[in-house]
Amino acid sequence: MEDEKGLLPSLTIVLLQETARFNKLLKTIKTSLINLKRAIEGTALMSDELDSMFYSLLNNTVPKNWQKVAYPSLKPLASWITDLKERVSFLSSWLKNGQPNCYWMSGLFFPQGFLTGVLQSHARQPGKEIPIDELAFSFKFMDFDKENCLSRPLEGVYINGLILEGASFDRKKKILVDSMKVLFLLMPVITVHPNADHPLPPLQVIGGSGYQEWQVRDLPMPRI
């Protein structure tokens, strides 16, 4: 649905872009598997690409022709397929049911595009009209996980899917602590809220509320 200026909501554009990328990947997978089946049956030529794909499937690795149109991932093939199904399910739910209560940010092809969409949504709110380059992100670590995210925040969005490596997170004190036994730790739900930029250095804690300031340009690309 367009706004009063005839523009699509920013997060709707993000959804359409993500859907197009996943459709391209799924089409590549389907077409290449059909061609490989025909080559094995002898009704089509076994090209170098199909031969490489055949041995990748045997070795439980993602074929290179799939990787070219896929998101960055180091998973073996079996885990990669499971992960792909979960990502497609998330997007399908977003398409059918509207904006989710909590966004699986690391499940997107282009998380930085999603963050830009959040900024644009805030900048376009009636009565604000703030230039996007004057906005910064505030983050608040919540006390619950995705399964208990029952509603959307009044301002900003909830995100999940961020993973710590070699560290742990104290949910009471909202600080990083040494990892004891677990190498990878799933972070709790985080509130991402755009606000007017002010001169705080990145990652400086504001009081004891658990909020932190980052410029969007300082955000690293999540690795899956």
Question: Who has greater pLDDT, 124 or 63?
Answer: 63
What is residue 27's predicted lDDT score, i.e. its pLDDT?
98
What is residue 206's predicted lDDT score, i.e. its pLDDT?
37
Half-sphere exposure of 170 (CA within 13 A, CB side): 8
Q: For residue range 5-44, what is the model confidence (pLDDT) as tens digits? A: 556 788 999 999 999 999 999 999 999 999 999 999 999 9
Q: For residue range 50-75, what is the model confidence (pLDDT) as tens digits? A: 999 999 999 999 999 999 999 999 99
Kindly list the structural domains of the chain, giving each domain's residue range(s) and its CATH number in brackets, ordered by start.
1-99 (1.20.1270.280), 101-224 (no CATH)
Q: For residue range 90-106, what is the model confidence (pLDDT) as tens digits? A: 999 999 999 999 999 99
pTM, to two decimals: 0.80
What is residue 202's predicted lDDT score, i.e. its pLDDT?
45
Spell out where the chain has E strands: 102-104, 135-141, 157-160, 163-165, 167-170, 175-178, 184-186, 190-196, 205-206, 211-214
138 phi/psi in degrees, rounded to 5:
-105, 140
Q: What is the DSSP letter of 223?
A: P
H-helix or E-strand spanning residue 20: helix 10-41
Provide mean pLDDT across the span 169-187: 85
